[in-house]
Amino acid sequence: MAILQLLQQHGLEQFYMDWILPRLKERRTVGITLAIALLYALHRKITTPPSYLRHLPVLGFYSFYKAILSNVTVDQYSKDVCLPVMLKSPGAFVRPTVGFWTIQLTDPIAIKQLLTKTDIFPKSELNQGLTGTLMHRFIGGENIVMLNGEDWKRHRKIANPAFNRAMPVKLFGELTATMFKTMEETGPKIDVLDLFSRITIDTIGKAGFGFDFHALENKNNEWVENYDSIKEGMLDPFFLVFPFLDTTLLNWFPKRQQIHRKLDKFLEMLGGIIEERRASLKQAKLDNSSGNSVDVQDRDLLTLMIECEQSENATLSNDELRRNLCIFFLAGHDTTAFTLAFMIYELAVNPDMQDRARKEAIEILGDDSQDKLPTIEDTKKMTYINAVMKETMRLHNPVLNTTSREATEDCYLNDIFIKKGSLVCADILDVHRNPKVWNSPYEFNPDRFLPGGEAEQHSSSGLSWIPFSSGGRICVGMNFSLVEQRVVLSMLLRKYTWKLPGDSIHANGLKTHGVAFGIISTKDLNIEFEKRY
């Protein structure tokens, strides 16, 4: 009872009721461990930032954890928790994370300096989480996101040309046409996040490593269910706050063990595909043939990366390839699905913008009563559609901040002092909503991104729009995602009109969550579609 009273004092009782109490019923000894962990978490050393960070405004330990553990919406977190602290700062504030504190940059000039000085600000190993946890096993280790120095350059040397060559526009269109069949079978009211999660998992499976998940045809198949369990497991706030329970004490949680076994199977599947692909390409070389009659832009990323090993004079082990595929899978599936869902919502509640975007799609693709698959040249003409996409990623960017960098020396970022050893990241959520940077930042206004618009005026002074990060470590899949979004949205605009149902939980604003893990999601985003042909 003493622990519960302490939690109530700091507003964390809901976390206890939702995440701790159910697990106490699984095994009594867990209660003792959790009691010790909670008391440790409340210790002053954990709840107070280091002295070398106290020159900046601080988002308090209890304010932050109360927000993430009570599952507040991203809008509430941004307006009620971050904004009051951000307005006190010169472009940065200090925020707790699980086990450490980070400097959150919200000034575009400081962000530009951070993201371009990769030698002074390498990626921190803390981004990967505790070794052995579900998160670390899926996104940690030697991959293009987490590595630094020469190892990172070796990975980038192979991934960059692979992504530059791979632009399967035809595949994007064909899967969108398949998605239309799924929509017809589902009915007029559709959960768009579920729908886009299915098309993007099929897209990254085929375009990434030549595997068909058949998610559009059957969302309940084994592979889709396995991945969904893994993703939900990584987002579990309980194990994010207490990661040690996800490793050495894992046998206390049978359900968690089951998710780890599903990850074992998923990783084994990827490993098998890599071995088979290497063997087939090697045999093709021995046979003095290309081994692949598919056009370069339509080949999957795995094939292109293996082929690039020779042309770029660099190699990746099978384990490194597998770890990169996991990163590409997470980034190429979830973030693109969320962005598409949020775009559909904004166009549903802004019908004039929807009509304007549809007019552009029809001007480019025609208004015939049949599906039209855009070409790469078609996608380059979609000026307003592109502005809708960019404004969606500004207001509802799926990722809250960049991965943390660790300062290797004392320095300044636009007059903000950074002590050696400090963890620093670009706060994507808050720079995108910074009232010192954007006019009416909580208003959805695609015109910002039209030629001569507000966004164009920002570009010379710093980085105020960074959904894919920037600099040398900009997301390698940026163009892949943008083209996929243009294809899906333009085809949807020609085929359907849509609106938000009157009884939607999002009627008074989009309710998004995900502050704990840093990737924004939502639920029950049902939209009513009506066919145009």
Q: What residues form the annotated binding site for heme?
A: 475
Q: Which residue has the tokens 């962000």?
A: 111
Q: Name residue 496's beta-bridge partners.
A: 531
CA 470-57-397 angle, to 5 degrees, is 35
Q: Is 181 exposed, middle or buried (0-12, 13-18, 19+ CB in 10 A)?
A: exposed
Q: What is the full DSSP assignment across 156-199?
A: HHHHHHHHHH---HHHHHHHHHHHHHHHHHH-SEEEHHHHHHHH
Q: Which residues are annotated as a binding site?
A: 475
Cβ atoms of 480 and 167 closer than 8 Å: yes
For residue 327, which of 478, 131, 142, 139 has the smallest C-alpha distance?
A: 139
Backbone angles phi, psi at 509, to 5 degrees: 130, 145
Residue 271: half-sphere exposure toward Cβ, Cα within 13 Å: 7
Cβ atoms of 125 and 139 closer than 8 Å: no
Helix runs in 380-510, H state only: 383-395, 428-432, 454-458, 478-495
Q: Are strands 405-406 and 526-531 parallel, antiparallel or unpaired?
A: unpaired
CA distance 209 to 222: 18
Q: Is 507 exposed, middle or buried (0-12, 13-18, 19+ CB in 10 A)?
A: exposed
Tokens of 95: 């925020």
For residue 284, which of 310, 317, 320 has the smallest C-alpha distance?
A: 310
CA distances from 240 to 17, 326, 397 (A): 17, 19, 21
Helix runs in 42-148, H state only: 44-47, 61-69, 74-76, 83-86, 108-116, 134-139
CA 295-301-302 angle, to 5 degrees, is 115
In this structure, the number of other CB atoms found within 10 A of the CB of residue 467 comes to: 22
